[in-house]
């Protein structure tokens, strides 16, 4: 590929990050001391009470961290209405610092003041002035203890109480004595404005007035298609916060309670938010809930393949029970390979089929379609702006958020570049965009993205061929075998099925082990 589309290829987040990190050279070999990839864990406020309030508990935690290659810890100040004891937090912080760990704080905004009418007893009503005051006090307390504070992914609201409803209809957000206009009168409009304004004043403002050095990390949940409905506004919040974090906790697709999310989602969301956050994108976060050892390690692989600089293992207490110990045992065995892959991923940009999800876009009947398309062995290059310069692209109903879509897509198609478009979007663009062109393929989703997992290999081979040709590649493989391509010809193939997969990449026959991966670096 030596055409102008090269400028569009995505560079690894870590390469961007290295430009702005202060790296102390080590004298011996002249290398930097910046680790290739950091593993971290989090002690919830309840873990602080249960595990970090005795010397023996702290000793055990330090030992576990060292055995797990964890070099950074987040010690949480508040969760579920409970605020951890100041003396216990400070002592744990000192012990970890003395043992050579990086130490940061965390706040989880659950059971803060007035309950939401939505997720009752967990999520709060931030229209309520007393709840805003309580929130501010929590962040002042946390900023008095730590110079970096993660905010777990409950920083949203689904409240529709009479006070919220009146403010929504009045199109006005009130924070303290300040009033801010809201662009529209939908719940989405109100909640996004509310969370942006409350973040600025009661979280960022409050924390930085207390401790001017403090950096706040907003951790986005894994449910990216619904962010805006509950007030996660990825453009303005990413601009406002110092660092962003990405939920890559896909868990086990078959799990009765936590299932339904395919593994590729972790890769998609990490790359998509990475494109929005650039060097602000700090890392990924996954947990043990609803996992097996295999899916736990798959979460780690997808996080690293997506260019994360750090993997946060949530959380210490949870990882001591249920499937946690077995998950951690499997992870420990894989850490040398994961770090080796992280090092390679950071060195080279990916190439792929542009997958366009504008910020705050609506999934309609194609919820999380990108995750399922990635499971088809189509290497995606997620993006939040129209990929005019991409060599090939995939479009779903999400793209309708772009008011200029019809003209931009018409130009893209007219350029002769291969396009894959969902049946749902094709229907919506009928009469506006000429889709009867040889370079356009329509993907039959019928409002059921998960049905894509049933597509037979023969259909997939035909589907992939023109799209991959534009990337200078060819791939024959069963469903649920994902492909990751890099500009220098390096590749990774990951098999999410329970049987070995016979594949053919660029004419070369390979076998990918069941629930395993192959990686080749040039």
| Residues contributing to the site for Zn ion (CB under 5 A) | 125, 127, 159, 161, 164
User: Of 159 and 273, which has the nearer Cβ to Zn ion?
Assistant: 159
Among 483, 514, 511, 509, which Cα is nearest to 497's? 514
Residue with tokens 């329509």: 442
Beta carbon of residue 162, minimum distance to Zn ion (angstroms, whole number):
8
Beta carbon of residue 173, minimum distance to Zn ion (angstroms, whole number):
12
Give the H/E segment covering residue 234.
helix 234-240
User: Of 125 and 243, which has the nearer Cβ to Zn ion?
Assistant: 125
- Maximum C-alpha span of the chain: 71
Name the residue whose CB lies closest to Zn ion: 125
User: Of 36 and 161, which has the nearer Cβ to Zn ion?
Assistant: 161
Among 96, 93, 82, 94, which Cα is nearest to 49's? 82
- The contacts of residue 119 (CB under 8 Å, 6+ apart) are 158
Among 121, 106, 3, which Cα is nearest to 45's? 106
Beta carbon of residue 161, minimum distance to Zn ion (angstroms, whole number):
3
Beta bridge partners of 215: 148
Is residue 431 left, alpha or beta, with left meaning phi > 0 and alpha meaning psi from -120 to 50? left
User: Of 120 and 448, which has the nearer Cβ to Zn ion?
Assistant: 120
CB-side neighbour CA atoms (13 Å) of 355: 22
Beta carbon of residue 187, minimum distance to Zn ion (angstroms, whole number):
11
Beta bridge partners of 440: 419
According to DSSP, the β-strands at 350-351 and 70-79 are: unpaired
Beta carbon of residue 174, minimum distance to Zn ion (angstroms, whole number):
12
| C-alpha dist (Å) from residue 19 to 12, 22, 472 | 12, 8, 30
User: Of 41 and 127, which has the nearer Cβ to Zn ion?
Assistant: 127
47 alpha carbon, distance to own chain's centre: 24
Beta carbon of residue 521, minimum distance to Zn ion (angstroms, whole number):
52
Beta carbon of residue 160, minimum distance to Zn ion (angstroms, whole number):
7
- At residue 471's C-alpha, the angle toward residues 451 and 486, to 5°, is 90
User: Of 60 and 161, which has the nearer Cβ to Zn ion?
Assistant: 161
User: Of 125 and 460, which has the nearer Cβ to Zn ion?
Assistant: 125
According to DSSP, the β-strands at 393-395 and 281-287 are: unpaired
User: Of 49 and 111, which has the nearer Cβ to Zn ion?
Assistant: 111
CB-side neighbour CA atoms (13 Å) of 416: 2
User: Of 128 and 293, which has the nearer Cβ to Zn ion?
Assistant: 128
Structure tokens at 85: 């004891």
Beta carbon of residue 128, minimum distance to Zn ion (angstroms, whole number):
6
User: Of 194 and 281, which has the nearer Cβ to Zn ion?
Assistant: 194
Specify whether the CB–CB gap between 268 and 382 falls below 8 A. yes
Torsion angles phi and psi, residue 393, rounded to 5: -150, 155
DSSP state of 3: S
Is residue 516 helix, strand or coil? coil
Beta carbon of residue 138, minimum distance to Zn ion (angstroms, whole number):
18
User: Of 125 and 378, which has the nearer Cβ to Zn ion?
Assistant: 125
Is residue 376 helix, strand or coil? coil
Specify whether the CB–CB gap between 512 and 501 falls below 8 A. yes
Cα–Cα distance for residue pair 313/244, rounded to 1 Å: 16
Beta carbon of residue 156, minimum distance to Zn ion (angstroms, whole number):
13
Beta carbon of residue 165, minimum distance to Zn ion (angstroms, whole number):
8
Cβ atoms < 10 Å from Cβ of 415: 11
User: Of 125 and 342, which has the nearer Cβ to Zn ion?
Assistant: 125
Specify whether the CB–CB gap between 220 and 232 falls below 8 A. yes
Beta carbon of residue 290, minimum distance to Zn ion (angstroms, whole number):
30
């Amino acid at each position: 590929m030596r055409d102008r589309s090269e400028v569009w290829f995505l560079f690894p987040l870590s390469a961007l990050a290295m430009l702005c990190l202060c790296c102390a050279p080590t004298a011996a070999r002249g290398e930097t001391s910046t680790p290739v990839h950091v593993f971290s864990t989090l002690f919830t406020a309840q873990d602080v009470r249960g595990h970090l309030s005795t010397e023996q508990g702290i000793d055990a935690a330090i030992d576990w961290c060292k055995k797990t290659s964890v070099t950074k810890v987040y010690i949480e100040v508040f969760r579920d209405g409970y605020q951890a004891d100041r003396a216990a937090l400070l002592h744990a912080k000192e012990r970890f610092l003395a043992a050579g760990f990086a130490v940061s704080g965390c706040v989880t905004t659950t059971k803060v003041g007035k309950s939401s009418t939505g997720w009752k007893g967990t999520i709060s009503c931030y229209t309520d002035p007393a709840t805003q005051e309580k929130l501010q006090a929590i962040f002042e307390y946390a900023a008095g203890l730590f110079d970096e504070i993660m905010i777990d992914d409950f920083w949203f609201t689904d409240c529709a109480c009479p006070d919220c409803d009146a403010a929504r209809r009045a199109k006005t957000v009130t924070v303290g004595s300040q009033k801010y206009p809201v662009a529209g009168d939908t719940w989405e409009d109100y909640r996004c404005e509310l969370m942006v304004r409350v973040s600025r004043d009661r979280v960022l403002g409050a924390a930085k007035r207390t401790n001017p050095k403090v950096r706040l990390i907003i951790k986005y949940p894994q449910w990216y298609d619904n962010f805006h409905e509950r007030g996660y506004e990825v453009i303005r919040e990413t601009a406002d916060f110092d660092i962003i974090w990405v939920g890559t906790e896909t868990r086990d697709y078959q799990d009765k309670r936590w299932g339904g999310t395919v593994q590729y989602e972790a890769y998609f969301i990490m790359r998509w938010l990475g494109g929005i956050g650039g060097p602000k994108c700090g890392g990924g976060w996954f947990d043990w809930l609803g996992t097996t050892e295999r899916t736990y390690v798959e979460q780690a692989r997808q996080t690293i393949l997506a260019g994360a600089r750090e993997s946060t293992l949530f959380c210490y207490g949870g990882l001591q029970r249920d499937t946690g110990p077995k998950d951690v045992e499997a992870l420990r065995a894989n850490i040398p390979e994961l770090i080796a892959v992280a090092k390679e991923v950071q060195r080279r940009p990916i190439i792929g089929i542009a997958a366009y999800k504008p910020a705050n876009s609506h999934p309609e009947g194609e919820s999380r379609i990108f995750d399922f398309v990635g499971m088809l062995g189509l290497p995606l290059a997620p993006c939040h702006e129209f990929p005019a310069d991409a060599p090939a692209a995939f479009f779903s109903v999400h793209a309708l958020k772009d008011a200029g879509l019809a003209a931009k897509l018409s130009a893209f198609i007219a350029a002769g570049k291969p396009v894959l478009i969902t049946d749902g979007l094709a229907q919506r663009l009928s009469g506006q965009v000429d889709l009867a062109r040889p370079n356009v393929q329509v993907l039959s989703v019928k409002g059921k993205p998960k049905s894509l997992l049933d597509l037979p290999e023969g259909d997939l081979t035909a589907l992939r061929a023109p799209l991959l040709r534009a990337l200078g590649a060819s791939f024959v493989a069963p469903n649920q075998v994902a492909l990751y391509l890099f500009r220098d010809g390096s590749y990774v193939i990951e098999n999410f099925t329970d049987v070995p997969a016979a594949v053919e990449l660029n004419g070369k026959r390979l076998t990918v082990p069941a629930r395993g991966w192959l990686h080749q670096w040039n």
